[in-house]
Chains A and B, each alone.
Chain A
Amino acid sequence: MTVTAGFSIRRLVRLLVVGGAVALAGQATAGENPRDPYEGFNRAMFSANETLDKYAARPVAQAYDAAVPLPVKASFGNFFGNVGEVWVGANNAMQGKPAEAGTGVARLLINSTVGIFGLFDVASEMGLERYNEDFGQTMAVWGVGDGPYFFFPVIGPRTARDTAGWAVDTMADPVTFVRPESVRIGTAVLRFVDIRAGLLPADKVVEEAALDKYAYIRDAYLQRRRNLIHDGRPPRLDD
């Protein structure tokens, strides 16, 4: 699922991307990792994001996690999952997986009716699997390579292909069409907080496991994307 938080953040991101591109043109030195040629820039963005997270996102997510009872959190998660179901189905169809695309539509129908607009994930209990698909994965299936790795504040890690995919996902995101704007932003912020809260247990593990947190997160992201593109069964890479 993509993280979206209304138009203002998107504008900020566009600014950062453009600003970043200008900065990169100035310092396009080859990094040590061929997949991460703009490592210096990315590390700067990463530490900016660490500060943002420490003082804003994480405290809010922790408060949400502590205050909201589990069934309500589960309902939010199911609702946002349901909202994304059509787009996941569309991506499955574009990747040539009609059966999975059909499952997505069936999930939406079941969860929107029996599950009271997706607040309860009845479809999963019925054995209809939820798929994780987005336009970046679809482009990968079409043969588009990763491109360089980037780290954006708020949005987090993305390869060049997945940044473009994310832009398309955002345009197709039902939350984008919600009116009035205050409700749209409220929904987007709630979704952001819900996703961040879901990542809280991973914080400590990464903190303790990593020799270099930036590299640990980058390589985990690249592995995770590779796994998603291969629908959970990537070929093994060994020396």
Chain B
Amino acid sequence: MKRLFAFVSFCLLSCAAFASEAPDALVKRVSDEVLEIVRADKDIRNGDMQKIVALVDAKVLPHFNFQRMTSLAVGRDWRSATPAQKSRLAEEFKMLLVRTYSNALTGYSNQRIVFKPFRMKDGESEVLVRSEVVQPGAQPVQIDYWLELADGKWKVYDVVVAGISLVTNYREQFAREVRDGGIDGLIASLATKNKSLEAAAAAKTARK
């Protein structure tokens, strides 16, 4: 009986593992879905920030691990942050990344995303999915996604564009803020930055 129970729970666990979408398939599916929506929606291409943020919130963010991303961006100082500070940091950093890079969707015209061959060893829990954005009259841009497996789901924790990690590129800037004003100083700087971006976006909408 005990053995049967063990066998059944093993099956359930492995079924759960098999049921989770493969990391490369996940990235491809989400990219396709998002581009499909952008292609069909003129407001988004014209820079309607509310619609863009709603799209990113619904389709993209569930597949990101912002806690891990923020810890990578903050580096060594992350360990000295309290749980409350950590969640504030992750929240502000998420807002900054969403605001800044959602803009990239507005410039979308007729680019194509090509995924490179993906290889993964058995039992690996951190993988790299490589892709390229191809556009006429310009060099292709390399976009790589780092994903980790947690609780049976693959989540992105770093995006590398043309060799530049959008996450670790903040490390020096964040370290300086922490040196000058502590973790709270960094949180305050990020909050100020987000507020000014929000005000700029609001002013732009008002002008239209």
Chain A residues with CB under 8 Å of chain B are: 32-33, 70-71, 73-74, 77, 130, 132, 198, 201, 204-205, 208-212, 215-216, 218-220, 223-224, 226-228, 232, 234, 236-239
Contact = CB atoms under 8 A, between A and B. Distances in A.
Interface in B154-186: 160, 162-166, 168-174, 176-177, 179
Assign chain B's interface to a size class: 35 or more
The 8 closest A-B pairs by CB, nearest first: A227-B163, A74-B137, A209-B100, A208-B100, A211-B173, A220-B164, A224-B163, A223-B164
Contacts of A77: 137-139
Given A215-B172, A216-B169, A223 B136 contact: no
Contacts of A204: 103
Given A74-B137, A198-B138, A220-B169, A234 B100 contact: no
B176 A212 contact: yes
Given A211-B177, A211-B193, A224 B162 contact: yes
B170 to A, nearest CB: 7
A233 to B, nearest CB: 9
B189 interface: yes
Contacts of B160: 227
B179 to A, nearest CB: 8
A223 B165 contact: yes
A70 B137 contact: yes
A210 B100 CA distance: 9
A155 B163 CA distance: 20
Nearest to A212: B173
Contacts of B190: 211
B176 A32 contact: yes
A210 B173 contact: yes
A69 B84 CA distance: 53
B40 interface: no
Contacts of B168: 223, 237
A179 B104 CA distance: 42
A216 B136 contact: no
Contacts of B142: 227, 232
Interface string B104-134: 1001000000000000000000000000000
Nearest to A230: B163
B197 to A, nearest CB: 6
Contacts of B166: 209
Given A70-B136, A232-B163, A219 B193 contact: no
Contacts of A224: 162-164
A239 B174 CA distance: 15
Contacts of B75: 239
A205 B101 contact: yes
A181 B168 CA distance: 44
A132 B163 CA distance: 13
A96 B141 CA distance: 25
Q: Which of B104, B162, B171 has the most CB of A within 10 A?
A: B162
Nearest to A130: B139
27 contacts: A32-B176, A74-B137, A74-B138, A198-B138, A201-B107, A204-B103, A208-B99, A208-B197, A210-B173, A211-B174, A211-B177, A211-B190, A212-B173, A212-B176, A216-B169, A218-B172, A219-B171, A219-B172, A223-B163, A223-B168, A226-B163, A227-B164, A232-B163, A237-B168, A238-B72, A239-B72, A239-B76
